[in-house]
Amino acid sequence: MLSLDLSGRTAVVTGGVRGVGLGISRAFLEAGAEVVAVARREPDALPEAGGRTARFASLDVRDPNAAQAFFASLDRVDVLVNNAGGTPYLPVSDGEVRTHVKLIELNLTSALIMSRAAAARMRELDSGGSIVNISSVSGTRPSPGTAAYGAAKAGLESLTASLAVEWAPRVRVNAVTLGMVRTEQSHLHYGDEAGVAAVERTVPLGRLADPHDVGSACVFLASDLAGYVTGSALLLHGGGERPAFLDAATANKEDAK
């Protein structure tokens, strides 16, 4: 039977109270899961969907002891979505070295810490568990201005593939590799609505992803429909980006007319 019903399962979503993480939390609520949204600071409002509300847990996902204590406090753990992360624009030559190291810790090390602690609980279940890592196309191509972030995301996809082998068959581990997503922070990256529209025209599907698009992909990977999917990275980028050389080549042809 084809089903995305996650009733009776508990999903932990890091960074699950705003932006992409809020969309992920809402998608799991809609699928029937009990959701624990993790962040450093409690939001003004908790994620809601389908008449249900997520629980909140304050946690530094980079702290191994805190992570272990957190998972030990839960009745069960079926799903972990490692979404906590992000980056400012910061070339490697700028800022303090420690800032770049902390970006790698947030976007890569935290996923290792949380996954290790969660997997121990997932092995207690007859059904095992599922871990979904939120990655980025910045880890698969040059990422000037966000090099530490891109390096961390490249490492996250390698970590995903390795853990999928180490923890099979009890725990499935996959990644969702994001392109551009429209959130409440979009103006910081793309400018006003005109800027967003200009960026959207570069995407083959003609729009930025919505956080619910990301949530839907995560629910699929956590569901029984993806029971034979592990060690995979699902590209969620609307078709990607048109290669710059094609635009350059087209411009040269136009100039020659």
Domain limits at 134? Answer: 10-256
Say if 2 falls within a structural domain.
no
Say if 3 falls within a structural domain.
no
C-alpha distances out from residue 167 to 122, 170, 231, Å: 10, 6, 10
Model confidence pLDDT, tens digit, residues 184-229? 766 666 777 888 888 888 899 999 999 999 999 999 999 999 999 9
Asked whether the bond before 169 is cis by omega within 30 degrees of 0, the reply is: yes
Percentage of the chain modeled with pLDDT above 70: 95
pLDDT for residue 241 is more than 90: no
Model confidence pLDDT, tens digit, residues 12-45? 999 999 999 999 999 999 999 999 999 999 999 9
Tell me, what CATH number does 147's domain have? 3.40.50.720
Say if 28 falls within a structural domain.
yes
Residue-level length of the chain: 257
Say if 4 falls within a structural domain.
no
Mark 93-128 as b/e (b = at least 16 C-beta within 10 Å): eeeeeeebeebbbbbbbbbbbbbebbbebbeeeeeb
Say if 5 falls within a structural domain.
no
Q: Which helix (H) or strand (E) holds 160?
A: helix 147-166
Model confidence pLDDT, tens digit, residues 89-109? 999 999 999 999 999 999 999
Say if 160 falls within a structural domain.
yes
pTM of the predicted protein model: 0.93
Model confidence pLDDT, tens digit, residues 107-131? 999 999 999 999 999 999 999 999 9
Q: How many domains does the chain have?
A: 1
Instruction: Please give the pLDDT value at position 10.
Output: 98
The set of catalytic residues is: 149
Per-chain mean pLDDT for the chain? 93
The tokens for 31 are 């699928």
Instruction: Quickly count: other Cβ atoms within 10 Å of residue 203's Cβ.
Output: 18
Say if 110 falls within a structural domain.
yes
User: Are 117 and 67 within 8 A, CB to CB?
Assistant: yes
d(C-alpha 113, C-alpha 61), whole Å: 7
Say if 188 falls within a structural domain.
yes
